[in-house]
Chain A
Amino acid sequence: SLLAQPPAASGTPGQRVTISCSGTTSNMGHNAVNWYHQLPGTAPKLLVYNNNQRPSGVPDRFSGSKSGTSASLAISGLQSEDEADYYCAVWDVSLNGVIFGGGTKLTVL
């Protein structure tokens, strides 16, 4: 099973966009949400972890939030280099594994 994400999102440079992610009580209800982004032809990278923490080097234009079984990733001051695929993920306690969202392809118009 997958976490639910919109397949596509878009915005113009400088805009703020949000990407949603929804799960169930067995996954998102119990554990923190992580976000990854994947630039074309490259490996995924951790973007936000523990719902709203940013790894070193990730700009504060990226922010995450979670409420209940829903989460969202916000990107402010959109830049052309933000064009990528974005995935949410959580640890599912009933499956003992990581559940990924289907991914959202972000296009910068």
Chain B
Amino acid sequence: QVGLVESGGGVVQPGTSLRLSCAASGFPFSNHGIHWVRQSPGKGLEWVAVIWYNGNDKYEADSVKGRFTISRDNSRNLAFLHMDSLRADDTAIYYCARDITSAMTGTLDLWGQGTLVIVSS
């Protein structure tokens, strides 16, 4: 079964860290770029980060640069989003999504169901 499953969300205090995981199945994970996209409650989609198929290239949105780090482990079909210095405005559903190619076309053809992160004191 082709799919992506996120995990690791929860309720955390401002200033703390959290690591999200994205588990892939049913397709050659190492052939695709992986993105993280978030959606604040009642708001639109915001792109967060992308990592190339082999992990050699990665980019983050300005809103998370220096605080969030994207990584992947192709041997375990996993992608990660490590989030530091969390703020209230990071509260959102975080989706991982597959790029249609090995690089970064920005065409996201497969999405996970999302994991909710709430940053609150």
Main secondary structure of the interface of B (DSSP, over half): strand
Within 8 A of B (CB), among A29-75: 31-32, 34, 36, 38, 42-46, 49-50, 55
CA–CA, A31 to B47, complex, Å? 16
Dominant secondary structure at the A interface: strand
B45 within 8 A of A: yes
User: Would you call B44 and A43 a contact (CB within 8 A)?
Assistant: no
C-alpha gap A91/B107 in the complex (Å): 8
Stretch with Cβ within 8 A of A (4 or more), from B14-22, B23-31, B80-88, B110-118: B110-118
What are the 4 tightest A-B residue pairs by CB atom distance, in nearest-first order?
Answer: A91-B106, A98-B47, A103-B44, A96-B59
A-B residue pair count with CB separations less than 8 angstroms? 70
Number of interface residues of B (CB under 8 A): 25
Query: A5 — nearest CB in chain B belongs to which residue?
Result: B44
Min CB gap A46→B, angstroms: 5
- Which residue of A32, A42, A55, A102 contacts B44 across the interface (Cβ within 8 Å)? A102
CA distance A2 to B47 in the complex (A): 11
**A34 close to B45 (CB less than 8 A):** no
Given contacts A44-B111, A49-B100, A87-B44, contact A98 B106 (CB under 8 A): yes
Docked Cα-Cα span, A101 to B43, in Å, equals 11
Residue of A nearest to B61 (CB): A97
CB atoms of A91 and B105 under 8 A apart: yes
* Cβ-defined contact, A43 with B108, below 8 A: no
Q: Return chain A residues, CB-CB under 8 Å to B106.
A: 31, 34, 89-91, 97-98
Whether, in the assembled complex, B12 has its beta carbon less than 8 Å from a beta carbon of chain A, the answer is: no
A44 vs B112: C-alpha distance in the bound complex, in angstroms? 9
